[in-house]
Amino acid sequence: MSEQKKTLFNLVVEPGKVHPNFEALRTSNAGEPARKMLDEIYQDFEDPDGNFLEQFQTTGFDQRYFEIYLYAYFCRSGYKVRRPHPNPDFLVTREEVTVAVEATTVNPPTSGALASLGRKVKELSPEEYQDYVDNELAIRFGSPLFSKLQKRYWELDQCRNMPFVIAIEAFHDDESLIFTDESLTKYAYGISHSARWDKSGALRIDYAPVKEHKVGDKVITSNFFAQPDTENISAILFTNSGTQAKFDRMGYQQGFGCDTIDMRREGFCFNPDPKAMDSTFFSYNLDESPFVETWGQGLVILHNPKCLHPLPRIFF
């Protein structure tokens, strides 16, 4: 008799405690590719804390989804992945280089200026939207990054003398996944940039220092990588793709749900043309995909130029 496969979708909690997004994922016909892909990844996923399944089904749905996405990226992209300790979340090895990776997420605020303002992304005017990117979103990223900094994981025996990376994704708003790394980059380096055409028609990029980010009475200093103790952080790994949409596409690409679902992918991507000011729109049917999507598409790495243990430039 073959051994029964592990699954994420048999309830281990009372139905009344189930997160609504997990319930939708568990029961939706359209979620078949993601469910099968998640369970395939879960087969050799280690749980050093012992509570992954419970949290994935309840209050930690977004956080645990991001965690298993990172694992999927690592283990399906040629890395050796170990999870022998509760912290860091991952020890990732490639070509004799081992990197410690700790995951965190931007979550809805429960107190303070951001909670009292209660701004929803879909309700912002164009002017408010830009202020949101420049200030509020930067503050939202800053809070979990600062919290991880206080943990001083690099002092753990299993993290000593190796690059240490914080991986982050934003789940604080229904629309939070539309944002790229623009705001996080401003906060991480304390620099903003803008594009313009000069009189000769050439594209020019202007840079300006950013000293702080402010929302109401809440003010934080910009330039995360210049703050005390951040020399121990080698890089920040960002994505807005560690979600069901990614697992749906990767599962569909592997053959899950193809007989019952039609799937398209569209969005905007980086334009490598040095004269391009705007990103490039793309759209395609997954049954006629122009390429094979990788788990790493959608990941951005922000290197710390002042770190003690630099991350090899092409490690991720």
Q: Residue 2 pLDDT > 60, yes or no?
A: no
Rounded to an integer, the average pLDDT of 146-165 is: 97
* pLDDT at 3 (0 to 100): 62
Within a domain: 110? yes
* pLDDT at 216 (0 to 100): 86
Instruction: Return the residue matching tokens 């002092």.
Output: 155
Task: State what percent of residues in the chain have pLDDT above 90.
Answer: 82
CA distance 238 to 226: 19
Domain that holds residue 195: 15-303
Within a domain: 217? yes
> How many distinct structural domains can be found in the chain?
1
Within a domain: 291? yes
Report residue 262's pLDDT band, with 50, 70 and 90 as the boundaries. Answer: very high
What's the whole-model pTM score?
A: 0.94
Within a domain: 51? yes
Within a domain: 7? no
Rounded to an integer, the average pLDDT of 188-195 is: 94
The answer to whether 106 touches 170, Cβ cutoff 8 Å, is yes
* pLDDT at 172 (0 to 100): 93
Distance of CA 196 to the CA centre of its chain: 30
CA distance 125 to 129: 6
* pLDDT at 1 (0 to 100): 45
* pLDDT at 4 (0 to 100): 65
Within a domain: 10? no
Within a domain: 316? no
